[in-house]
Amino acid sequence: MKRFAVLLAALVASVAFAHGTPVVVNLEREANTLRAEARTPEGNPVRGMRLEVNASRPSVQRRLTLSEQLDGSYSAPASALRDGEYRFALTDTTPGFTPVTAAVTANWLEGARFEIVLPPSPPSGPDTMLLVVLTVAPVVLSLAVAGFILLGRPKVAPVQP
């Protein structure tokens, strides 16, 4: 039972603070597509993010919404961007977390690669913790009740002939 409680606490912490660490996002141009790999500083993929890129230069401003393809891999069509130098502002707008933005200026050329490090994004308020509590509390309560029932059952004495 103690192991279960530790595992449950770890699960709650991982859900509540999934973006509580910096996220390293490697961006790459592949033909007319912007590809991104989101990883923790330790190199683990970061899933479930909602990412937007604002690409701008004096004559152009485009917003690209990245969609998740695989574990920690995201992409967006970028045919509207012509070769040249842009300021790329990457924003993490994952629901339940405070939006964070980081930017880099880079040349948008075939095969271009650059990195943006997003700062930690804390939960955006009590709604995140409330959601975790409402999701996990019924499971914990059910297990506690089952444990008390099993521990409180009277022991049946063997029948003597």
Residue percentage of the chain with pLDDT more than 90: 48
Does the structural domain 20-118 have CATH classification 3.90.550.10? Answer: no
pLDDT at residue 16 in the model: 36
Domain boundaries, the chain: 1-17+124-152, 20-118
Mean residue pLDDT of the chain comes to 82
Q: Read off the pLDDT of residues 130-143 as tens digits, 9 standing for 90 and up.
A: 666 667 777 777 77
pLDDT at residue 132 in the model: 65
Beta-sheet strands, E only, within 13-148? 23-30, 33-39, 51-57, 60-70, 73-77, 84-92, 100-108, 113-118
- Assign 114 a pLDDT band (cuts: 50, 70, 90): very high
CA distance 146 to 92: 41
pLDDT at residue 96 in the model: 81
Average pLDDT of the residues in 19-42: 91
Q: Read off the pLDDT of residues 70-97 as tens digits, 9 standing for 90 and up.
A: 889 999 999 988 899 999 999 999 888 8
Query: Which bin fits 53, alpha (ψ -120 to 50), beta or left (φ > 0)?
Result: beta
Average pLDDT of the residues in 126-132: 60
- Between 6 and 100, the more confident residue is 100
pTM of the model: 0.65
pLDDT tops 50 at residue 11: no
